[in-house]
Amino acid sequence: MRILISTDIEGVAGVVNPEQTRAGNGEYERARRWMTQEANAAIAGAFEGGAHEVLVNDSHGDYRNLIADELDPRARYVVGKPRYLGMLGGLEVGCDAVMLVGYHSRSQARGVLAHTVNSQAFARIWLGDLELGEAGLYAALAGERGVAVILCSGDDAFAEETRPLLPETVFVVTKTATGRNSAISLSPEASRTAIRNGARQAIATQEKATPFRIAGPIAVRLRAQTTAHADLFAQWPTLSRIDDCTVGFDVPSVEHAVRVINCLSAMSFMLR
C-alpha cells in the first residue's frame, strides 16, 4: 500500500500568525520544524497501520519547507514547484490513499490563517455549485483518480468545513480557532501523538473511505481579491469576465481546474 501525505503549515499546532508561514525569520524556522514533525507523525502512523511505502509532499508556499534531513528516512520526499498536480504531487506515480496534514479552512471562512491557494489573489472558488478550499479541491483531484482522502488534520473550523465532503475520513483537530490569528492549540507533542494515532486508524479503516468525485465537464467560478486581479486573469482567452471581481471558465476535469487555478496564482505575482 502506497500512501501520499500532503503537508501544509497553517493547520499545524502552534501556528497562528502569517510570520510563522513565511521564510526568513526565526518564527518560520520553528514552525517548519513543527510541520516536519507532524509529517513524521503521519508517516509513522501510516507504516504502523500497514503501509508499505509513503511519499510526503511539501505543499506550502514554494513547496520547500520540510526539513529534509529531519524527515523519517522511510519516506520519499516530493519537493519543489511547479508541479502538474500541485499539492498532490506524487499522486501521478500511483497511490492507494491520501492524507492531508496541517491543512486550513477556505478563504473568507472562519479559521486560523484561512485562505484558498493564494491569499493575495483569490477570494472564493467554486467548482460547479460547490465552493471549495484547498482540501476540497485536492480531495476532488484525488477522487478523479479513484483515490480517497483517509486522514485530515488542522483546526476545528477546517474540520467542520471539510467533514461534509469527506464523511468517512479520520479528522485530527490540532487547535480550536478563536480568530484568524489566534487559537487554543494542542502542544506540538500532543498534536504529533494525535496525528500518529489518527494515521494508524485511517490505514486500518481506509476501505470505508469513498473518493470525493466531481464529474466533468465543470464550470469554474473564481472571485478575485481585487478588480486588478480580475483584469489580469481575464487576459487568458478561455476565461470570461462575470462581474467586477469574478471570472469563469469551463474545464473537462478537476485536474484541468487545479492546473488553471495554479497558473492564475503564478500570474498574480506580477501585481505584488
Q: Which of 180, 208, 236 is the last residue before a domain boundary?
A: 208
Chain mean pLDDT for the chain: 97
pTM: 0.96
Residues 17 and 145 in one domain: yes
- pLDDT reported for residue 207: 86
DSSP class of residue 238 equals T
Task: List the 2-7 sheet strands across, edge first.
Answer: 76-78, 53-58, 2-7, 97-103, 148-155, 170-179, 182-185
Please report which confidence band the pLDDT of residue 226 belongs to, taking 50, 70 and 90 as the band edges: very high
Q: Would residue 91 be called left, alpha or beta, if left means φ above 0 and alpha means ψ between -120 and 50 degrees?
A: alpha
Spatial separation of the C-alpha atoms in residues 145 and 185, rounded to whole Å: 34
Is there a domain that residue 123 lies in? no
Q: Rounded to 5 degrees, what angle do the CA atoms 101, 106, 112 make?
A: 70
Range of the domain at 267: 218-271
pLDDT tens track for 14-58:
999 999 999 999 999 999 999 999 999 999 999 999 999 999 999
Dihedral sign from CA coordinates of 41, 63, 142, 75: negative
- pLDDT reported for residue 272: 83
- Among 14, 69, 66, 76, CA closest to 43: 76
CA 160 to each of CA 86, 105, 110: distance values in angstroms, whole numbers, following the listed order: 24, 9, 10
pLDDT tens track for 86-126:
999 999 999 999 999 999 999 999 999 999 999 999 999 99
Residues 165 and 237 in one domain: no
Q: Are 148 and 212 in contact (CB under 8 A)?
A: yes
Residues 49 and 167 in one domain: yes
Residues 152 and 263 in one domain: no
Residues 199 and 233 in one domain: no
Is there a domain that residue 79 lies in? yes
User: Inter-axis angle of helices 188-204 and 26-49, to 10 degrees?
Assistant: 30
Is there a domain that residue 128 lies in? no
Is there a domain that residue 195 lies in? yes
Residues 88 and 157 in one domain: yes
CA 137 to each of CA 46, 153, 221: distance values in angstroms, whole numbers, following the listed order: 23, 16, 13
Residues 84 and 165 in one domain: yes
Pairing of strands 246-251, 2-7: unpaired
Q: Which of 208, 226, 252 is the last residue before a domain boundary?
A: 208
Is there a domain that residue 108 lies in? yes
From the CB of residue 15, how many other CB atoms can be counted at a distance below 10 Å? 30
Instruction: Please give the torsion angle defined by the CA atoms of residues 257, 258, 264 and 269, in that order, rounded to the nearest 10 degrees.
Output: 170
- pLDDT reported for residue 116: 97
Q: Are 251 and 115 in contact (CB under 8 A)?
A: no
As for how many domains the chain has, the answer is 2
Residues 169 and 56 in one domain: yes
- Among 186, 131, 128, CA closest to 154: 186
Q: Are 169 and 150 in contact (CB under 8 A)?
A: yes
CA 33 to each of CA 60, 63, 67, 188: distance values in angstroms, whole numbers, following the listed order: 13, 14, 7, 10
Residues 109 and 174 in one domain: yes
- pLDDT reported for residue 174: 98
What does residue 95 show for φ and ψ, rounded to 5 degrees?
-130, 155
